[in-house]
Amino acid sequence: MTTAQQLQYELETAFVGRPWYGNPISEIITEGSWQAAFNKPPGSVHSIAHIIVHMTGWTEEVISRLQGNPAAEPARGDWPEPSLPGEQSWHQLVIDLDEANSNLIKAMQALPNERWDELINDQRELNEPVTTYKELVYGFIQHQIYHAGQIALLNRMNHVS
């Protein structure tokens, strides 16, 4: 199995498969209503919709990095505001995340196997080691799972079960 195939398997398991930790991200995201998705319970920093826009932006940024572009903050920003609340806008946010994931898989498949252990194009001045393409995608998958956990908690706070 190539690196791209292994990472694709990990990504698909987390999003639509049967991960060992519970429900896949796609199910966690769509458990509640669109109203619950835009609700920010007392004490919460983000709504589910806000987290979805963040997840989509970082998916797009990882695609950009896999294509050799310099590492940066997502083009839409780290925490952009979601669209105005509504059933259609909620469905569009979910579609946008799904499409970004499909595009990520295409970008992963396009990266030659011998490049996965190369360092990404990171010209930022950080006091952290620069990561490889493989580490980037593994870290990204962990990022998405982390936010799925936040969404699961928000679902409970919104009385979705």
pLDDT digits (tens, 9 = 90+) for 116-129: 999 998 877 776 66
Whole-number Å distance between alpha carbons of 29 and 42? 20
Domain coverage including residue 80: 3-157
Whole-number Å distance between alpha carbons of 33 and 118? 42
Q: Considering all CA atoms of the chain, what is the largest pairwise distance in Å, rounded to the nearest integer?
A: 48
Residue 160 CB contacts under 8 Å (≥ 6 apart), including other chains: 31, 32, 33, 36
pLDDT of residue 129: 66
Q: For the full predicted model, state whether its pTM sits above 0.85.
A: yes
Of 4, 2, 48, which Cα lies nearest the Cα of 160?
48
Whole-number Å distance between alpha carbons of 40 and 103? 29
Whole-number Å distance between alpha carbons of 98 and 101? 5
Question: How is residue 158 written in tokens?
Answer: 């919104």
pLDDT tens column, 61-103: 999 999 999 999 999 999 999 999 999 999 999 999 999 999 9
pLDDT of residue 126: 72
How many separate domains does the chain show? 1
Is the pLDDT at 141 greater than 90? The verdict is yes
Q: For residue 134, what pLDDT band results from cuts at 50, 70 and 90?
A: very high
CATH no. for residue 112? Answer: 1.20.120.450
Is the pLDDT at 6 greater than 80? The verdict is yes
Q: For residue 161, what pLDDT band results from cuts at 50, 70 and 90?
A: low
